[in-house]
Amino acid sequence: MKLTKFLMGAAMGLALASPAFADVKFGSLYPISGPLALLGEESARGLELAVDEVNAAGGIKGEKIVLERGDAVDNNQATGEARRLISLVGVKAIFGTYSSARVIAASQVSELAGVPYFELGAVADEVTGRGLTYLFRTNPTAANMGKDSIEMLANAIAPGLGKDPKDLKIGIIYEDSSYGTSVAGHQDANAKANGLNVVLKSGYPANTVDMSSLVLELREKGVDVVLQTSYQNDSVLFLQQSNEAGYKPLAIIGGGGGYSMQPTADAVGHDVIEGVYDVDFTQFEVNHDATPGLDKFVEAYKAKYGTDPRSGHSLNNYVGAKVVLEALNAGEGFEPDQIVAAVKAIDVADGTTAAGYGVKFGENNQNERASMMGMQWQDGKLVTVYPESAAVTDMRFGK
How many angstroms separate the CA atoms of 180 and 206, rounded? 9
Give buried/exposed letters for 37-50 (b at 16+ CB in 10 A, else e): bbbbbbbbbbbbbb
Is the same domain home to 233 and 380?
Answer: yes
Is the same domain home to 238 and 258?
Answer: yes
| pLDDT for 252 | 99
**Counted domains in the chain:** 2
Establish if 399 belongs to a structural domain.
no
Is the same domain home to 245 and 323?
Answer: no
Establish if 112 belongs to a structural domain.
yes
Which residues are 227's β-sheet partners? 172, 253
Is the same domain home to 380 and 232?
Answer: yes
Is the same domain home to 262 and 321?
Answer: no
How many angstroms separate the CA atoms of 372 and 283, rounded? 10
Q: Please, is 199 exposed, middle or buried when counting C-beta atoms within 10 Å of its C-beta (0-12, 13-18, 19+)?
A: middle
Is the same domain home to 256 and 270?
Answer: yes
How many angstroms separate the CA atoms of 338 and 137, rounded? 18
Establish if 391 belongs to a structural domain.
no
Is the same domain home to 154 and 132?
Answer: no
Written as tens digits, the pLDDT of the chain (399 aa) is: 444 444 445 444 444 443 445 799 999 999 999 999 999 999 999 999 999 999 999 999 999 999 999 999 999 999 999 999 999 999 999 999 999 999 999 999 999 999 999 999 999 999 999 999 999 999 999 999 999 999 999 999 999 999 999 999 999 999 999 899 999 999 999 999 999 999 999 999 999 999 999 999 999 999 999 999 999 999 999 999 999 999 999 999 999 889 999 999 999 999 999 999 999 999 999 999 999 999 999 999 999 999 999 999 999 999 999 999 999 999 999 999 999 999 999 999 999 999 999 999 999 999 999 999 999 999 999 999 999 989 999 999 975
Cβ atoms within 10 A of the Cβ of 397, count?
14
Backbone φ and ψ for 72, nearest 5 degrees, come out as -95, 60
Please answer whether residues 274 and 250 qualify as being in contact, where contact means their C-beta atoms are separated by less than 8 angstroms.
no
How many angstroms separate the CA atoms of 281 and 393, rounded? 18
Is the same domain home to 112 and 222?
Answer: no
Establish if 100 belongs to a structural domain.
yes
Establish if 394 belongs to a structural domain.
no
Is the same domain home to 236 and 381?
Answer: yes
Q: Edge-to-edge strand order for the sheet containing 251-254? A: 197-204, 169-175, 225-229, 251-254, 277-280, 373-378, 381-386
Is the same domain home to 266 and 382?
Answer: yes
**pTM score, two decimals?**
0.87
Is the same domain home to 258 and 149?
Answer: yes
**Geometric angle at alpha carbon 310, from 48 and 359, rounded to 5°:** 55
| pLDDT for 382 | 97
Establish if 122 belongs to a structural domain.
yes
Is the same domain home to 253 and 167?
Answer: yes
Please answer whether residues 183 and 150 qualify as being in contact, where contact means their C-beta atoms are separated by less than 8 angstroms.
no
The boundaries of the domain holding residue 295 are: 23-140+290-368
Establish if 9 belongs to a structural domain.
no
Establish if 313 belongs to a structural domain.
yes
CATH number at residue 205: 3.40.50.2300
**Geometric angle at alpha carbon 278, from 378 and 380, rounded to 5°:** 25
Which residues are 172's β-sheet partners? 201, 227
